[in-house]
Amino acid sequence: MQMMPKTFTHIFSAIVAAVALCSAAYGQAAKAFPDDWFFEGAARPAPLKALEGKPASAITATEWIGSAVTIKDQRGKVVVIDFWATWCGPCVASIPENVALVKKYAGKDLVFVGVHDASAGWENAAAVVKLRNINYPVARDKTGGIGVSAGEYKVQFWPTYIVIDRAGMIRAAGLMPNHVEDVVKVLLAELKPDGPTPGVAEFPAEMFNGGEARPAGLKAIEGKPAAAVRGDEWVGKAAANDMWKNSVVVLHFTAPGQTLSSLELEKVGALEKEFGSQGVMFVGVCDGRIGVDKLRDFVKAKSVTMPIMHDLVENAPKDGAVAKGQTAAAYGVKFFPCTIVIDRSGKVRAAGVKPEKIKPMIEKLLAEKGAATGGK
C-alpha cells in the first residue's frame, strides 16, 4: 500500500507485515500497536504519534455526503476516520478495503467516516462515492490551513487513518489501510466504558452555558473525582464531600447580590424542593470575594434552604486584588453563577450546566444503576 504526501508528488512503497493480535480489556493501560502497522513505521511523524491516548477532536465539516457524524455522539463505539481526497491515488485505491470493512462489521459498533481535503477535489467527491459504492458518510473538511479537521488530527499525508476507541480516545494515528481492521478488532473486543471519560464531553454542547466555547477548565474536570469543597463557614447545615456518598450532587456556585446569580439560585432552589427527597443533594458555594455577613443576610432575605459554604480565600494577590475561592479554582469556575453535577460515584459528570438543563441531567443520573464505586 502507498501514501501520498500533500506537499510532494512522489509515491513510495510501504512495508506490510502481519502481527499477532493481543486483545486487552478496556480500563487497562492501552498498549501501543506495532510500528509496522503504520506508514513510516517507527519513524512516523511525531505529531501523529502524539495524538494517541488523547481525546478525539470534533470533525468540522462544511458539507456531507450521507448522514453527518459527530464524534461526541459515538461514545461506546469504535470510530475510523479516513482523511482522503479524490486527487490522491492511494486514497482512492484503498476505498474497496474501507467498503469491505464497513460491510463486515455492520451492526457491530463500528462507525466509519471519510473526511475529504478542504482545498481541492471535492467537486469530484459525489461521483467517486457513487462509482466506488462508498457505504459510509463523507465530509468536506472546513477550509483553514490544510483543513480545520486535518489540522486537529495532524494530517501529514494522504490517506491518514485515525482510529478512536469506545471511550473517545485516539488509539492509532497514521495506519496503513491493510492494518485498520487489525486495530478495529482489538478495540471492538474491549469493554464499553463505564461512566465518563476525562476530557471527553458526555452531553451536547447546548446543555452548557457558552456551548462549545465554555471554559476549558470546566471541560477538564468532567469524568474526574469531585474536588473537596473548602470553606471558612457554612450558612445552613454543613454538606461537605464526606456526606455525598451514594448521592447525586448539584454543586451550585453563586454570588449573592448579583442579579443573574439570584435568579439562578431560585431555579436551583425549586429543583431542590423537587428532588431533595430522591437522593439528590444540593450544595451552594458562595464567591469567596463576597463577605460572609452579606451571604447570611441574602440567605435569610430569600429564605434559601440549600446549605451554602463561603468559599475559602487564601494568599490574596500582592496587587491588592481579592483572590477567588479555592473551591471555585479547584472546579475551574471563573464566572458566577455556575452549576456542577456530580454522580453517585463522586465523579463530575457535567460542569457549567444551563439552569434549564439541570433537571434532565439529574434524572439521567438517578436512573443509572449501582451505588458509588469510585473514591474521593
In a domain, 156, yes or no: yes
Count CB-CB contacts under 10 A for residue 206: 9
Residues 143 and 231 in one domain: no
Residues 164 and 219 in one domain: no
Structure-block grid coordinates of residue 364: 439521567
C-alpha radius of gyration, the chain, whole number: 25
- CA dihedral defined by 17, 19, 24, 30, rounded to 10 degrees? -40
Residues 289 and 331 in one domain: yes
Instruction: Report the amino acid identity of residue 60.
Output: T
In a domain, 36, yes or no: yes
Please give the pLDDT value at position 142: 95
> Considering only CA atoms, which of 101, 97, 123, 122 is closest in space to residue 111?
101
> Considering only CA atoms, which of 252, 357, 230, 368 is closest in space to residue 304?
252
Residues 291 and 159 in one domain: no
Total tally of structural domains belonging to the chain: 2
Residues 178 and 292 in one domain: no
Question: What CATH number is associated with residue 19?
Answer: 3.40.30.10
Cα 306 from chain centre? 31
Using an 8 Å Cβ cutoff, are 207 and 357 in contact? yes
> Considering only CA atoms, which of 282, 295, 290, 284 is closest in space to residue 337?
284
Domain boundaries, position 279:
205-367
Q: Which of 163, 189, 215 is the last residue of a domain?
A: 189
Residue-wise pLDDT for 23-69, tens only, equals 333 434 466 899 999 999 999 999 999 999 999 999 999 999 999 99
Q: Which of 189, 219, 243 is the last residue of a domain?
A: 189
In a domain, 372, yes or no: no
**Looking at the predicted structure, is the pLDDT value of residue 16 above 90?**
no
Please give the pLDDT value at position 22: 35
Residue-wise pLDDT for 161-211, tens only, equals 999 999 899 999 999 999 999 999 999 999 877 655 555 557 888 899 988
Q: State how far the Cα of 249 lies from the Cα of 251, in Å rounded to an integer.
A: 6
Q: State how far the Cα of 253 lies from the Cα of 287, in Å rounded to an integer.
A: 7
Q: Which of 189, 213, 247 is the last residue of a domain?
A: 189
* Higher-confidence position of 240 and 161: 161
Q: How confident is the model at residue 298 (pLDDT cuts 50, 70, 90)?
A: very high
Residues 151 and 211 in one domain: no
In a domain, 199, yes or no: no
In a domain, 197, yes or no: no
Mean pLDDT of the chain: 86
Q: What DSSP element (H or E) covers 82?
A: strand 78-84
Residues 256 and 336 in one domain: yes
Residues 33 and 62 in one domain: yes
For residue 341, which phi and psi values (nearest 5 degrees)? -115, 130
Please give the pLDDT value at position 123: 97
In a domain, 340, yes or no: yes
Using an 8 Å Cβ cutoff, are 106 and 75 in contact? no
Residues 49 and 87 in one domain: yes
> Considering only CA atoms, which of 286, 284, 233, 276 is closest in space to residue 256?
286
Residues 172 and 238 in one domain: no
Question: What pTM was estimated for this model as a whole?
Answer: 0.54
Residues 112 and 141 in one domain: yes
Residues with Cβ within 8 Å of 97's Cβ and at least 6 positions away in sequence, in order, are: 177, 178, 180
In a domain, 287, yes or no: yes
Residues 138 and 56 in one domain: yes
Please give the pLDDT value at position 201: 59
In a domain, 374, yes or no: no
